[in-house]
Amino acid sequence: MHDPATEVLKFLDLESVKAVLDFLQKAVAAGVGAWAAFRFQEYRETRKERGDRIHALREALFLLSSQRGFLLILDQDQLAPMRDDPSRHLLLRPPLFGRAPLPLDLTKLVFLIKLHKSGSLISQLDLAEARFSFVERLLEERRNLHYRVQDRLAATGEAWGDGATLEEAVTAVVGRPSVLQLKQMTDALYESVAPALATNRECVTAIQEFIKEQFPGERVPSVIEEKTGPSAPPA
């Protein structure tokens, strides 16, 4: 049985054989080098992707913590003292907060759709952001209406009638529709904070558990807990 390689070598002198072997060594070395370079680049990309994902999760925890702090201050310092006051819609002043927390950037967290065991974490985060945004919008709309009512009351300069309740006196000046709208917004604000806090807490716990499961060895950021108000769920 003839070996084609052996037959070829019969017609080559020693120098030619050396040249062929040298070429083969270089070809193999080049192939191994290219493979090693490819694997190293793949490792670097995987490492970068892992780092980007960890960073996105930690950023989400920071933003959720910031939103939670905002909600807790609103609940404890602004809403709780007047929770059972029947005239709270008239007495509750707009909170004087500084800059509101930044929104969650869900575009950085789309990888959760594939990696999370149920795929529902991204939906939970979307719900948490929606509920927090709803509270923010309610605060803004109620603030605007509150100041309009105050301006109209200040413009009349009339003394309240003897025996008139606060609501009757305000209604006589600004009208029943404005008072009802203010009451509806105030009630909605009280009702919206607890669900926002609950969803926020669920997302924080889910992200912390996800980091432990998917990225073992990575530091899991903790969220500072604060004493919750009457409407806030246990953290």
| pLDDT per position as a tens digit, 178-202 | 999 999 999 999 999 999 999 999 9
CA 165 to each of CA 17, 86, 125, 216: distance values in angstroms, whole numbers, following the listed order: 111, 11, 44, 62
Q: Which of 23-27, 106-110, 135-139 is most confident?
A: 135-139
Where are the alpha helices (H) located in 74-175, listed in sequence order? 88-91, 112-115, 121-156, 166-174
More confident residue, 189 or 225: 189
Which residues, 6 or more positions from 70, have their beta carbon under 8 angstroms from its beta carbon?
97, 100, 101, 132
Cα–Cα distance list, 2 to 7, 16, 21, 69, 147 (Å): 7, 21, 21, 83, 101
Share of residues in the chain with pLDDT > 70 (%): 70
Q: Which amino acid is at 85?
A: D
For the chain, the average pLDDT equals 80
Q: What is the pLDDT of residue 92?
A: 92
Distance CA 132, CA 113 (A): 22
Q: Residue 213: which pLDDT band, with cuts at 50, 70 and 90?
A: confident
What number is the average pLDDT over the span 82-89?
A: 94
Kindly list the distances between the CA atom of residue 220 and the CA atoms of 17, 27, 204, in Å, as whole numbers in the listed order. 61, 47, 11
| Residue 11 per-residue DSSP state | T
Give pLDDT, residue 101. Answer: 86
Of 30-44, 119-133, 215-229, give the range with the top mean pLDDT.
119-133
What is the rounded CA–CA span in Å between residue 110 and residue 193? 27
Domain ranges of the chain: 4-214
Q: How far apart, in whole angstroms, are the C-alpha atoms of residue 115 and residue 121?
A: 10
CA 219, 220, 221, 226 dihedral sign is negative
Query: What percentage of the chain has pLDDT greater than the value 90?
Result: 43
